[in-house]
Amino acid sequence: MFARSRSQCPRLSGSLHFVRRSASTQISNAAVNAIVSSAGSEGAFATRGSGPLAGVTVAVKDNICTKSLPTTCSSRILENFTSPFDATVVSLLSTGGAAIVGKANCDEFGMGSLNVHSVHGPVVNPVGLQDGVPVERRSAGGSSGGSAAAVAAGFCDAALGTDTGGSVRLPASYCGVVGLKPSYGIISRWGVVSFADSLDCVGVLAKDVSTVRRVHNAIAKYDERDPTAAPPHVRALASQLCMQRAAEITATDLKGLRIGVPRDYFPKELQPSVIESLQKTLDQLRARGATVVPVTLPSTPYALSAYYVISSAEASSNLARYDGVEYGLRVEPPPGANLNKTANVYAHSRTRGFGEEVKRRILLGTYALSADAFENYFLQAQRVRNLIKADFNRVFWAPNALKVDASTNATRTEGVDVIIHPSAIRTAPPLPDAQHGASAETGSLDAYVQDVMTVPASLAGLPALSVPAGSGSDAWPIGVSVVGQWGFDEMVLKVGEVIESCQAGGP
């Protein structure tokens, strides 16, 4: 009944020749495994002469639907799946004049922090390459590891990722690029394969903030096909509040800008070099006139648990559709199999089609929604989520435009414009050996901790930008995150731009 999936585009094994990191270094996709299906240099995806994105090359995470390329979500269950439609963001890129170069590797359905849970294999962080040859195999971060690596390797000017709990910001931090998770509801999710609907955001990654802004502005459009899209009047209200202050920010003058640093964002797992680079960044901002104040977000310690309960619960629901009937991988039950229940039939396809991490989260989420656990897990996590939102609303001067009374809410004189904290607890971790899978119990818990800095903004639906801020003692990139009130995407971009110019040794 629909255009059935075609055979998958052959995985790229050769080099992408339009790719250049610098004059002397040419990186092949084979070395980083960032692009899993390539649009080639011709065809419908070629750039157009006009439009705000004319001449911009973009890679699209493989969980965003494209009509002309497969959309596998890095899962075996969708290995041969091509969507019958383009996601709204893909259409907007095309009408904006961008050229889509291919689909980017990711963790299966966006679940993971290291981009190792992929049917296409792990993404290798391009920072560890010398003369195109990997000298140190580290993770590109996840789940949008392919998007971050493609940008870092110079395969494209920008990439779309998705961010559910840090999946854009973490890989941006590990790969030394800029990554924006916009406010929830600003970019359409139509055509974005759901992991956890209430958290999923399309995000943009690029080498610099101005490219991120350019792509973001082209795709941050209200779309009536997304029922969770923020309606135009709410956008307008937030934008008006944001520009009251953002308009005054320049690269050299941050007078009046109040930056909050949350005390609660310094867990014991934090690497010392990460703290140092944050300090240095704050010093630079202070030197330009900004005021740095400590703030408390007391519910932060519960955020990670709440996040994993909510995201897994929603994932268990969203992934119920992969049953091998309408599309995707179908495994015939063996002769003699018990077919009394429909679930028994589906089990064969789902067991083979889903990877270990996805199965783990489906089981966790299924449990959290069961009648016995619903109150103590799912509802409790929702309460924590509300506390976290309240924490943020307390520290910003601006009211949250999503609250119905936001327009009448007097803005407060105290309160901060943005919050700044480390994007990750460390520099990019080494890729696990092929021999020791990433699925060992301790390994997976470690991976979950990677998200500790990023999930609060996801739970609250706030804009958060990770910007490179120097490097660690191991010479690998470190990122800092700028978080703003809902709808203050331009504010975090402005502040990120200043941090960027400080790094470049700017004025």
Partner 1 sequence: MLLYGRARILTRSARWARSAHTVRPRVDDSRWPGWELVVGIEVHAQIKSRRKLFSEAFASDLTSPPNTHVSPFDAAFPGTLPRLNPKCVELGVRTAIALNAEVQRRSAFDRKHYFYADLPSGYQITQQYAPIARNGSLQLKEDNISVRIKQVQLEQDTGKSTFLPRNRLTAIDLNRAGMGLMEIVSEPDMRSPEEAGSYVRALQALLRSVGSSDGNMEQGSLRCDVNVSVNRVGGPPGTRCEIKNLNSVKNMMVAITCEAFRQIALVDKGIPVTQETRGFDEEKAETYSLRSKEDAPDYRYMPDPNIPPLLLDKSYIDEIRHNMPELPDATRARLLSRGLFKRDVEVLMLVDSGREVGYDGQLGHGAVAYFDEVSQGRNPKEVVNWYGITHELLGQLAFRNETFSENPISVQQMGDLIDLVSSGKVTGTSGKTILRHILSTRTPDLPSKIAQDLQLLAVSDGGASLEKWCRDAIAALPEEAEAVRQGNAKVVNKIIGYVMKASRGTANAQDARGMLLKLLRP
Member of 345, 395, 425, 464 binding partner 1 (CB under 8 A): 345
The least CB distance from residue 85 to partner 1, in Å, is 6
The least CB distance from residue 462 to partner 1, in Å, is 17
- Residue where the block lists tokens 């030394």: 176
The least CB distance from residue 393 to partner 1, in Å, is 19
Tell me: does residue 194 bind partner 1 (CB under 8 A): yes
- The smaller minimum CB distance to partner 1, of residues 109 and 155, is found at 109
Quick one: how many helices (H) and strands (E) in the chain?
14, 13
At 46, which helix (H) or strand (E)? none
- The smaller minimum CB distance to partner 1, of residues 15 and 366, is found at 366
Q: In 268-321, where do the E strands start and end?
A: 291-295
Show the site string, 136-175: x = touches partner 1 by CB under 8 A, - = not: ----------------------------------------
With CA atoms as reference, report the closest residue to 288 among 323, 250, 260: 250
The least CB distance from residue 179 to partner 1, in Å, is 22
- The smaller minimum CB distance to partner 1, of residues 85 and 448, is found at 85
492 neighbors 418 (Cβ within 8 angstroms): yes
Tell me: does residue 64 bind partner 1 (CB under 8 A): yes
Enter the tokens of residue 412: 């407060």
Tell me: does residue 29 bind partner 1 (CB under 8 A): no
Site size toward partner 1 (CB under 8 A) is: 51
Identify the three-state secondary structure at position 341.
coil
User: What's the rounded Cα separation, in Å, for the pair 138 and 433?
Assistant: 10
- The smaller minimum CB distance to partner 1, of residues 257 and 310, is found at 310
Member of 85, 266, 397, 448 binding partner 1 (CB under 8 A): 85
With CA atoms as reference, report the closest residue to 214 among 148, 158, 172, 166: 158
> Residue length, the chain?
507
User: What's the rounded Cα separation, in Å, for the pair 152 and 144?
Assistant: 12
The least CB distance from residue 93 to partner 1, in Å, is 15
Member of 197, 264, 276, 446 binding partner 1 (CB under 8 A): 197
- The smaller minimum CB distance to partner 1, of residues 231 and 506, is found at 231
Tell me which stretch binds partner 1 (CB under 8 A): 7-15, 76-84, 208-216, 422-430: 76-84
User: What's the rounded Cα separation, in Å, for the pair 24 and 123?
Assistant: 23
Give the CB-side neighbour count of residue 52, counting CA atoms within 13 A: 14
- The smaller minimum CB distance to partner 1, of residues 90 and 158, is found at 90
User: What's the rounded Cα separation, in Å, for the pair 320 and 328?
Assistant: 13
Identify the three-state secondary structure at position 262.
strand
Tell me: does residue 1 bind partner 1 (CB under 8 A): yes
Enter the tokens of residue 460: 């609250």
Tell me which stretch binds partner 1 (CB under 8 A): 7-15, 111-119, 218-226, 251-259: 218-226
Catalytic pick among 37, 91, 167, 173? 167
- The smaller minimum CB distance to partner 1, of residues 4 and 255, is found at 4
Tell me which stretch binds partner 1 (CB under 8 A): 190-198, 211-219, 270-278, 296-304: 190-198
User: What's the rounded Cα separation, in Å, for the pair 379 and 397?
Assistant: 29
In the annotation, is 143 catalytic? yes
With CA atoms as reference, report the closest residue to 162 among 133, 127, 191: 191
Burial 39-76 (b: 16+ CB within 10 A, else e): beeeeebebeeebebeebbbbbbbbbbbbbbbbbbbbb
- Residue where the block lists tokens 């269950």: 77
The least CB distance from residue 212 to partner 1, in Å, is 23
- The smaller minimum CB distance to partner 1, of residues 286 and 348, is found at 348
Identify the three-state secondary structure at position 471.
strand
User: What's the rounded Cα separation, in Å, for the pair 69 and 265?
Assistant: 40
Catalytic pick among 5, 139, 143, 481? 143
φ, ψ of residue 319 in degrees (nearest 5): -90, 0
At 443, which helix (H) or strand (E)? helix 441-449
The least CB distance from residue 370 to partner 1, in Å, is 5
Tell me: does residue 68 bind partner 1 (CB under 8 A): no
In the annotation, is 167 catalytic? yes
Show the site string, 313-342: x = touches partner 1 by CB under 8 A, - = not: xx-xx--xx-x-xxx----xx-----xxxx
What residues between 376 and 405 interact with partner 1 by CB under 8 A?
378
- Residue where the block lists tokens 């792509």: 215
Alpha-carbon Rg for the chain, nearest whole angstrom, is 22
Catalytic pick among 5, 37, 61, 173? 61
Show the site string, 286-315: x = touches partner 1 by CB under 8 A, - = not: ---------------------------xx-
Identify the three-state secondary structure at position 308.
helix
φ, ψ of residue 101 in degrees (nearest 5): -85, -25
What residues between 414 and 443 interact with partner 1 by CB under 8 A?
none
Q: Is 166 exposed, middle or buried (0-12, 13-18, 19+ CB in 10 A)?
A: buried
Tell me which stretch binds partner 1 (CB under 8 A): 84-92, 147-155, 414-422, 482-490: 84-92
With CA atoms as reference, report the closest residue to 202 among 182, 222, 218: 182
User: What's the rounded Cα separation, in Å, for the pair 303 and 316?
Assistant: 20
Show the site string, 221-250: x = touches partner 1 by CB under 8 A, - = not: ---xxxxx----------------------
In the annotation, is 207 catalytic? no
Binding site for partner 1 (CB under 8 A): 1-2, 64-65, 71, 73, 78, 81, 83-85, 87, 189-194, 196-198, 224-228, 313-314, 316-317, 320-321, 323, 325-327, 332-333, 339-343, 345-346, 366, 369-371, 374, 378
Mind telling me the catalytic residues? 61, 143, 167
